[in-house]
Every structure is written in C-alpha cells, then in structure tokens.
Amino acid sequence: MSQLFTINHSDKNTSARTGVLHTDHGDIPTPCFMPVGTHGAVKTQSSKEIVELPSSILLSNTYHLYLRPGTEVIKKAGGLHSFMNWQGSILTDSGGFQIFSLEGYRKITEDGVTFRSHLDGSEHHFTPEKIVDIQRIIGSDFMMMLDLCPPGDADHETWIDALNTTTKWAKRGMKHFRETEPIYGYRQVLIPVVQGGTDKKLRKKSAEELCELEADAYAIGGLAVGEPKSEMLETVEWMDEFLPEDKPRYLMGVGTPADLVENVSRGVDMFDCVMPTRNARNGQLFTIDGKINIRNAKFKTDFSPIDENAISPMSKIYTKAYLHHLFKTEEILGYRIATQHNLYFYILLMKTMREEIQKETFGSWSNIFLTRYNQRS
C-alpha cells in the first residue's frame, strides 16, 4: 500500500511543515482545513462549489449519518461519496463528541455508549467496533475512533477515566479495523484520538498508549471545549513532542483563523471547524483585518467586495451592499455568499501558510498576519 503522508518541508524556526496526504480520492496538500458537512452536505454549498474553493477533502459525522439517512440508505447508494456526489476525500468524525454533549439520556459503560436519538428518542448502542463498521459503510477515507471527551471543566479523575476508556476503546477499534476490509475497494485509515485535557502527564500517557497501535494518523481531541486559549496552545505544543513526527496530526474542532496559524506553527496538519459555515449564517465574515458583521448598517451603501484580499467566486460578483440587503431580507442567497466567502477565506489562509512554510518565511509572515487580524477581532 502506498504511503499515506509525505512531508515536503519542515520550517526551521517553528514546528510548521508542509506535506501531502495521499488517499484513493486524491492528494490533499497540508496543512489543510476540512469544510464541515455534518449531514453529508456543507451548509448551503454544493459539492461542486467545495471543489472550486478549492478543497479536496470535507468532513462529515458518523452519528448524524447513522441516524439520517441511516446506514441502509448509504450502503444502497454505494457509500457517502456516491450519495452526495463528492469525488474528493472524506473524514468522518465518530460523533462521540455529539453523543456526550446530548442533553438527554446516555450511559457510558466499558462496552460502549447507549444513547437516545435526539430526533425520535429511539435507543441506540455504539461500541468501538460498531463505529468502525458504520464508517466502513459510509466509506470515509479517514475514520475516527470512538473516544470519550469530557467537558472542559471536568475534574482530574474524570479526565483519567476518559483517557483510560479512550485507550481501551482504541485498542478494540483498531483490532476490529484490522480484521475488516473496506467495502468499496479503496483505502480507509482509522485515526485514534489523544485525550488528557490540559494535563501534560495525561497527554503523554494517552499519546504513548495510542502510539503503540501504530496508527497511520493521530488526532488531538478534548481541546476547544472551554479551556483558556493559552492552555490549548501549550497542550498542542506537548503533542508535537509526544506524537510521531512522520504521521499527520489532526486537531479536532479548531478554530478561528488565528488559531489555525498558531497551531500550524505547533505542527498540526489537519483542521476542521464549524465556525466559517455557522458564523456565515449570522452574517459574520472573516477578513484579513478581522471579523465584520455584514448586517451592520455601515455596509448599506458599501459597494466594495467583501474582502479585497480573499475574493471567492461569489464575492467577485457581489458587493457588501448587496450582501447586506440579502441578510436584511433573509434571502438564502446571502447565506450562500457568506458561507462561500468564509470557507474561501479559510482555504486561502491554509494555502498561504503552505507557501510561507515552503519559502521559509512562515515565522515572520505569521507575526504580521496575527497582528493585523487580531487588531480588529
């Protein structure tokens, strides 16, 4: 089997590096940002528009797809790629995070987690093995292990328990993964999730235990769940130390444009976050000078593009004033333009970082970027 990950260039002054993820659905230059399509669709965007951003990978959610449309439909469709007509790569989150965030009933045992659907209250049981099976049916290129992610303010004992369970589940998940085959003929990679909160010893323990599994990629979970930003960054720094250098690192659910820059600098290769799509629906747009809200009255007669420095296909043809009007009249076209702009901004930011790393100018560039971006944010 061909190599999953090639590192092209490692920055001399930071832990930033460029590389390529090789999947059977194409190559993905890293560091990369993965647009989020929880239900098998990136909010308001067509598959074609995601390709044109350009993005060659998107993220979906095992738990949500399991409930709707269900594995039977996805299997009949020939997998999620075919169902949503997406030729690029797909990473599916396990949905463990969503299940543990459910307000309603859920019960965690040694075996797995029992929960009620947030849609109809029906009871379901997920095990590390079942999560692999579902993702075999979905056919994601990158499958996530079932992990246990406590809330950011959980106590030390809870973090230790979560870590131990996560390790046990990861061993079972990896065993089952290695005993099963992809359904659709192309390679799938199973990614364990390092837990341990913001405790260095726990993070080290979790990383060491999961590294024994010799997975092809590693995810950093349990961050961006309410902890101070400085602690998140410090934790990612430790992970840079504890995780194998030659394998891709995926920082789950992070973050703002500034977060992406800070964490690329700390050696992260893959990101996902709902922020560009979710904030777009509230009229919040990312620009190189920080965030703006297009609903603000000052944009009523501003006929300039959304961001002169990040011209998405749609912001090439529509002005701030028109977008302001669309938000005021609640026209869906407004959400489309805003979503595309924000995704484009994120994707362009990743591309810029790859170029700066390649040119050995990442350190100075990131200082300038962060100063300019944070000034107004």
Instruction: List the x/- string, 74-93, binding to a copy of itself by CB under 8 A.
Output: --xx-----xxx--------
Is the Cβ of residue 154 or residue 311 nearer to a copy of itself in the bound state?
A: 311
30, 45, 140, 342: which one binds a copy of itself (CB under 8 A)? 45
Residue in 98, 333, 351, 377 binding a copy of itself, rule: CB under 8 A: 333
Check binding of 321 to a copy of itself (CB under 8 A).
yes
Of 86 and 238, nearer to a copy of itself (C-beta) is 86
Site for a copy of itself in 336-365 (CB under 8 A): 336
93 labelled catalytic:
yes
Catalytic residue (one of 11, 147, 272, 307): 272
Active site residue 272: yes
Nearer to a copy of itself, 85 or 180 (CB): 85
Residue among 63, 97, 218, 322 that touches a copy of itself (CB under 8 A)? 322
* SS3 annotation, the chain: CCCCEEEEEECCCCCCEEEEEEECCEEEEECEEECECCCCCCCCCCHHHHHCCCCCEEEEEHHHHHHCCCHHHHHHHCCHHHHCCCCCEEEEECCHHHHHHCCCCEEECCCCEEEECCCCCCEEEECHHHHHHHHHHHCCCEEECCCCCCCCCCCHHHHHHHHHHHHHHHHHHHHHHHHCCCCCCCCCEEECEECCCCCHHHHHHHHHHHHCCCCCCEEECCCCCCCCHHHHHHHHHHHHHHCCCCCCEEECCCCCHHHHHHHHCCCCCEEECCHHHHHHHCCEEEECCEEEECCCHHHCCCCCCCCCCCCCCCCCCCCHHHHHHHHHCCCHHHHHHHHHHHHHHHHHHHHHHHHHHHCCCHHHHHHHHHHHHHHHC
Site string for a copy of itself, 23-42 (x = CB under 8 A): ----------------xxx-
Please select the residue that binds a copy of itself; options are 24, 73, 151, 304, rule is CB under 8 A: 73
So which residues are the catalytic ones?
93, 272
**Which positions lie near a copy of itself, rule CB under 8 A?**
39-41, 43-48, 64, 68-69, 72-73, 76-77, 83-85, 300-301, 303, 314, 317-319, 321-322, 324-326, 328-329, 331-336
